[in-house]
Structure 1
């Protein structure tokens, strides 16, 4: 973290508009590198992580590539004939226990990583399950994304990731994406000496905004009990409660 960013963060942390110590944030680092190989994406994660922790938010970083995550949309693919082992339920338990989920990825061929695709697919496989209000289970949680790479693609990846999170129930705050890209073609990555990544003011600003907006929104959602359970319950719809919807036949 740059000296300027440290000063801004310290000032904001000393005068926060609310308390965030009961919140949890989970980073899914969808790097292709297994632990302990260095992840450049982790370098950017550490900026947001530091801001969260300075405000008492509990944080955790998971590299899904370290786990056995089969393809499929089942809750536990080890219960199917195709796979003997599935570690995804362990990760999903961590997701369920968090208030803020940051899906992080590197860019390859202009797209998010294959690991990131697999993560979003497995999360989608849980969307038939509901929360205590009868809503889709991820209502009331905040989602955002951090992205690194050497070629263009940050905004393209962010559009897909943030749409995917919103589609399954996450609430996306303003400026919920941040990233850093090196020059086009082979060159230094984020944490490489001389890359300019950790010192990049635009990236540091957006990452800081992302962290604070996630905390603000998570605070509001938690204090209000999440999204109201009205007009968004699949089983209520199936039971005939159409929540003011009028069919074309009714309007005739």
Structure 2
């Protein structure tokens, strides 16, 4: 769903300076890049395009392209896993990002299994501290993008966004967006239809929600960065040592 004229104008006329912010889009599709295209990535790319047009530095990763061990330790090799790409290839980009957007397809009404692994690995770092002795994710912003051909966007968003806020991410208003087709077999987001169109590209609802989500994430990240993060009164871990 390439950016339309309104989205381009909103990006070009933004009265906030989003330069200096960094975002990570982490796609938890079950398909590695060399196996198939990702419908979730297709929708995520629209939000990425908006952020980049606004001057945000963006990284994109497809989790299935990496060997990410399951577990709740920062480095699962120390827990016996034979391999783990998380510490060197994923975590540094998570740690650097002001904005984290998790993308997931819907399977049986739930987020993907890889999405659960990513949430658990994020949780593994939740006891670490930032420079203000707050939990490590304080001052960072989170959102989610969801695709599928069954109902479940709000349910999956609830799960993902709750998990992110629980470990310390700030969740702005309407920090989720998604697209679903008709229930049952049929085209997924971005698939060509019998009429020669691409499924979902004509959804004004999805385009609007994606735009709101993207700007809300950038606005909140800018506010937090300019304020030096969240105030540290009453939430320093050292008070409870």
- Band the TM-score falls in, shorter-chain normalisation: over 0.9
Aligned pairs for 1:93-108 (under 5 A) are 93-108=92-107
Q: 2:208 is matched with which residue?
A: 205
1:24 positional shift: 0.8
1:164 positional shift: 0.3
Q: 2:13 is matched with which residue?
A: 15
Q: Under a length normalisation based on structure 1, what TM-score does the superposition of the two structures give?
A: 0.91
Aligned equivalents of 1:178 and 1:49: distance in 2? 13
1:109 positional shift: 0.3
Checking the alignment, whether the CA contact within 8 Å between 1:21 and 1:56 is kept in structure 2 is yes
Aligned equivalents of 2:9 and 2:211: distance in 1? 13
Aligned equivalents of 1:106 and 1:226: distance in 2? 31
Moved over 3 A (4+): none
Aligned equivalents of 2:66 and 2:190: distance in 1? 24
SS at match of 1:11: helix
Checking the alignment, whether the CA contact within 8 Å between 2:188 and 2:199 is kept in structure 1 is no
1:118 positional shift: 0.2
SS at match of 1:155: helix
Aligned equivalents of 1:48 and 1:180: distance in 2? 13
Aligned pairs for 1:112-127 (under 5 A) are 112-127=111-126
Aligned equivalents of 2:199 and 2:70: distance in 1? 37
SS at match of 1:104: strand
Checking the alignment, whether the CA contact within 8 Å between 1:41 and 1:190 is kept in structure 2 is yes
Equivalent residue in structure 1 for 2:23, among 22, 25, 40: 25
1:21 positional shift: 1.4
Q: 2:234 is matched with which residue?
A: 231
Give the aligned CA root-mean-square deviation in angstroms: 1.1
Checking the alignment, whether the CA contact within 8 Å between 2:23 and 2:99 is kept in structure 1 is yes
Aligned equivalents of 2:71 and 2:7: distance in 1? 41
1:196 positional shift: 3.0
SS at match of 2:178: strand
Aligned equivalents of 1:217 and 1:139: distance in 2? 12
**Higher Rg:** 1
Q: Under a length normalisation based on structure 2, what TM-score does the superposition of the two structures give?
A: 0.95
Q: 1:249 is matched with which residue?
A: none
Q: Deviations over 1:205-224 (max 9, x none)?
A: 00010011111111100000
Aligned equivalents of 1:179 and 1:27: distance in 2? 15
Q: 2:181 is matched with which residue?
A: 182
**What count of residue pairs does the alignment treat as equivalent?**
235
Checking the alignment, whether the CA contact within 8 Å between 1:138 and 1:168 is kept in structure 2 is yes
Alignment of 1:216 with 2:219, yes or no, is: yes
Aligned equivalents of 1:14 and 1:39: distance in 2? 28
Aligned equivalents of 1:203 and 1:67: distance in 2? 29
Aligned equivalents of 2:12 and 2:76: distance in 1? 46
Aligned equivalents of 1:145 and 1:207: distance in 2? 10
